[in-house]
Chain A
Amino acid sequence: MAGTYSELFCQSNFSFLTGASHPEELVGRAAELGYSALALCDECSVAGVVRAHSHIKAQQLPIKLIVGSYLCYEELELVVLCPTKSAYSQLCRVITNARRRCEKGRYQLSEWDLKTLKGCILIWLVHGRSEAAKTADKEWGPWLQRHYGEQLYLGVRRELNGFEPEQLAYIRTLSEQWQISEVALGAVLMHTPERLPLQHVLSAIKQGQTVSSLGQSLLANAERALRPLDKLAKLFSPAQLATSEQIAQSCAFNLDELSYQYPYELVPQGLSASEHLKSLVEQGARKRFKGVAPPAIQATIDKELALIAEQGYEPFFLTIHDIVQFAKRHDILYQGRGSAANSVVCYCLEITAVDPRQIDVLFERFISKERNEPPDIDVDFEHQRREEVFQYIYQKYGRQRAALAATVITYRLKSAMRDVGKALGFSDTQLDYYIKQLNRRHGGGQWQAQLIQLGLDPEATINQHFFRLVDEIKGFPRHLSQHVGGFVISEGPLHELVPVENAAMLERTVIQWDKDDLESLKLLKVDVLALGMLSAIQRSFKLLEKHYQHSISIADITRLGDDPQVYAMLQKADTVGVFQIESRAQMSMLPRLKPRCYYDLVIQIAIVRPGPIQGDMVHPYLRRRDGDEAVEYPSKQVEQVLKRTLGVPIFQEQVIKVAMVAAGFSGGEADQLRRAMAKWKRDGELTQFKQKLIDGMLQRGYDYQFAERIYQQICGFGEYGFPESHSASFAVLAYVSAYLKYYYPEVFFCALANSLPMGFYSLDQLVQDARRHNINILAVDVNHSLWEHQVIRQGEHVAVRLGFCCIKGFSAASADKLIAQRPTSGYRSISELYHHGLQEGELETLASSNALAAIAKDRFNSRWQIMDKQQRLPLFADDESIMEEESVLAAPSGIQDTLEDYASMGVNMGAHPLTYLRQQGLFSNAKKASELSQCRNGASVTIAGLVTGRQSPGSAAGVTFLTLEDDTGNINVVVWLATAKAQQKAFLTARLLEVKGVVEHHKGVVHVIAGRLIDHSDKLPALILKSRFFH
């Protein structure tokens, strides 16, 4: 066939559980086959078009993308194509209307919607397989022709099925009857015929049945794949083919035309956005720099403003400025982060509180022009108040103009195994078992190999299909979900730009594109995120103001400069509750890295991540830092990139830059690399860059090992990317929280406890740590506590009183009632509490938490009293004597007190359980956590404690880190793979563990390398202490 062909009806896997190819695969294959255009028409969706568009651009494919959608209304099936931008807006509006009428995942068109698709080209799909369908067609035919005239076509599909001859004849009749031109359509669902089994599996998943039971409901053949031109020439008439080509030529709309406008209402009349931004920055600079900005700073500001103006990003900065001003007005603490957030402009606009003079950041801290990235600013808000910011945005811009970006939820290994397995007829129990087995710590190897080990016969045909199909379906989109906080806000209605649909969460709407799509089209989104630590810091500031009359802010603390005493505390790894550096892995790194200044913290936060660990960059960095290894650079260019991290790449930006300077990646390629990193785990896209990276580096004279390590690090970043710009902002919060912990431990503890749940530690663990720091923790008391925990300061004496909030089953409303009616002298008896209308159940929880200790007997007898139904009869209401009956029950023992504390509050107010066990003569030989630092390196020891953490980081090659808590502190236990495997029973299930092992000291870090593990969980049978697992 000499001519060419345009496929006008193609559904990708964004027609969920129907299309069996990615949009990229479809355009890629169509270009290979020599198609001149391809219309991506997912069902009531344009979610896949940006991917196809970006792929065409990135690969410079000689094919045109037509944006369209497949819509069903009653019996009517239509393919709608967008020849122009206005037609595209119409389609987006119609999709939005149809989607917004229904719950997530469904749509409902109306006749009116169809009438408004004036600018679109419509291809009518008919089959005429039943009389009912033919009758409906008779009605729709004239209607469609009346409304669309020349823009209406009849689609001719050649699927080589058993109905075809009649269907073709029927179409011919309709075409002649109403003078509608026929056009060739592939109705494509797959980019190659080899996807047929996957398409069958998707159909089975959709219908909730097995493939073998679906019979003729499955596609009969693979004709709905992209077909070669010569085959098409045999199937369709020249006229039908020519029409498709002619329609494609009339479609001139390109997604690049979408120029999106940020809201201009933030710019006062008479000013340009640029002028307004400049004046705000000037105002801010005067405030920030107490008058006039120093000349060097002013020069940076001018440079940054020029760059912003050049890219037209002013409204973006103005929008974020507006949002943070709202937060400021409402006293919501926030902090900006990201590459652009660390600019002086953002400091002046009060988006960040990091004084650029104090933090002498050496890195390029602004929009990267050569990488063609949009400015990256995420703003974190106090997690307990983020919703207020959301509501402000909705209120200010309206739901028409503001929506959340989507997150595409894709098939991952386990979901893929489950769905494919069911479709192939595997039993639920069998699948459950396989999936659970994959959870195993020492899995290792490929998942297929693991299943074979579990007894799946690799020779059986069905199992081979299972292996292949699971791999194929991985990365397939399953549904759209909402992004954590990425807002798209526009000048005009958003639905003219992209369809908006309902999210699962009530009152939330999402657009049909995710953040990568937005980035590809250079549309800006504002990330409004929630951060628990900001709540804790804000609470700390308020408490400082109240109890110490210090008015202080994040900016004030950073302005004070690096405080050696705060850093001394960090170097000792005394960081429970400190932002980002409180995890076990971070704690073991602190004494080795010994941070001395802000930038050290930036590195500290970024280094304990899968990227640097997998790239084997941690030890070289530490050796160089300690002067044990010379700092060398393979080349001048690499030196520029890696100088501030002593020649060792630590940050995500650095490896990307190394790829550019050392492997010769262009800006565009680097950008693709960055995106592939983000999707690595999902799609495995990174492998395509490996050869290019390594070849490029070898060609430029770098050694193979260095290249391989850089690649491994890139893979590591893929699992958890961590750019320097974010680390820099987090380091500020880490420092501020450490500063508060050091100087105002009671205040910090109280604020942290009131901001739970957040961070790594439970209230109990925070309390244990506070006690080790000699903080006086006062128990919940019916006569003194408030709902939240509070700082009590009397002269020099400072303490923290726990609040009612930690009592399980005691409501805030009851606490309010109890506090509001509390006599100044306090309650005197339980009956008094009765009279204030507290429910029996809630009183019982108060009794069990020992909050009634001051006015009643022990907790068992108080609860016993409260349970007496007779006491609540009106007859006895005023008779207090009845309440004061004899103790019937034995008072709790020490261990019972502890158990009750855990059961009622999750916090132990008494002695540590280990203390009781020691009193019973157990673990008399065991060293305490506090004694370990005195043991010599290599000494054999026995230790015992509650298992409070089991971490088995993927980067640690099967090593598991156990945290044992005893009465004096936490002990770090390293369990090697072989040890764990040999003693699985104790290793996996013990809650109270005795470990015989060897002490290891290394640069201030003390570990015990486990030898024998002995499970003593039965010694504390009822102890309710949830071990926290991290995988």
Chain B
Amino acid sequence: MDMPLPDPSILSRKARIVDRLRAILPHDAVIDAPAETRAYDCDALTAYRCQPLAAVLPRTTAEVSAILRLCHEEGVPVVPRGSGTSLAGGALPTADCVILGVARMNGVLETDYANRFIRVQAGRTNLSVTGAVEADGFFYAPDPSSQLACAIGGNIAMNSGGAHCLKYGVTTNNLLGVTIVLMDGSVLQIGGAHLDPGGLDLLGVICGSEGQLGVVTEGTLRILPKPEGARPVLIGFSSNEVAGTCVSDIIKAGVLPVAIEFMDRPCIRACEAFAKAGYPDCEALLIVEVEGSDAEIDEQLALIRAIALRHDPVEFRESRSEEESKRIWLGRKSAFGAMGQINDYICLDGTIPVSALPHVLSRIGEMSRSYGLDVANVFHAGDGNMHPLILFDANKPGDLELSEALGADILKLCVEVGGCLTGEHGVGVEKRDLMPVQFTPDDMEAQMRVKDVFDPQWLLNPAKVFPLGATSARRGA
């Protein structure tokens, strides 16, 4: 993958830039020794690495502002970083950049149950937001798989989703306001405890802009009362097509489960071997979870059972206890870990219209055979967000490139059937060069104009989201 050449004039000024950063930050907030900056050379897309010029770890919005103002003056690119869990290379450094990590900014600033929001610093982890309010019966809904580690700032940058967004939406639907610092150091408050910020929806375009418009330092998040209970059911089918039709029928029937997860046979087998969750050995498996009181759950599950039985399932297992619920989720939640045990893998993230599910699964099967690489499928079926896992051997020369080519073909297929390249992981560097598959030059031009307004010198999180060829004129400006 191509990255722009580092600017030699910046590299030659490293000592001066680091000295200036030290002058405005506490001593322990600036890291420049190569042995230490190595910790920031990649995110969760570990195939690509590059050591940054330096890394800074501010504790306050004022420090973030001072850092950005200085880097703006020096013309130094800045790569914002939450917890470094991006699967798309969203926090991949360039050699001439300063990594701005918000991990030390992890406080809760305000909790307000009457108005149902929490205000946190951007480095706070997703799960610990819920942790701060759950004793009082509330939770923060978006729940990416990495929620134990990932930071709210990263969630806002990537507009993260999760397994439960069929009912609760993704980050942008649960974000009320931000404090954001622009590249020139100016600090803006957008939105807050009221609904719908006035004027143009800047909050909406900042969320999901992959850290390219500004550095979010605080977020005001909507919190919700916890449901009385939740219960999953596991349904096994003898074909992917039938499982796909069942998903569509459940949705059409007016039930709105909080989650509908789908696993195919390669994934079921790997998870079973790894987690021993007691899954049936079948072609396709659905986990459907509904919420409410016991009686409400019974009512919804009865409806789901009636729909499922029309499709002749090989297994219909309803949880009757907390323990059984955990076992049903166990395999699904350990899917990525299970795959990691048996192979190296690339995790894709395309979304397709739910109606295209059977067609896409059968095409992925054909592609997998023609490339000679196994693909396991696990995904959020209710909203069509697929996570095909392409298994390869990192020690085998050419295998990574081959699996990337297969991944690109699968994502092109997603776009071809009316879907998109990425449902919740973001474009980053990973899917940057595929953007023209989904967008015309004019579509991308419109997006890049927004970047022009927020960051005219194109210094924030460079070489991400848009193909390098499309941005070269702007980056050189």
Asked if A and B are interacting partners, one says: no
B-side residues, CB < 8 A to A, are: none
A-side residues, CB < 8 A to B, are: none
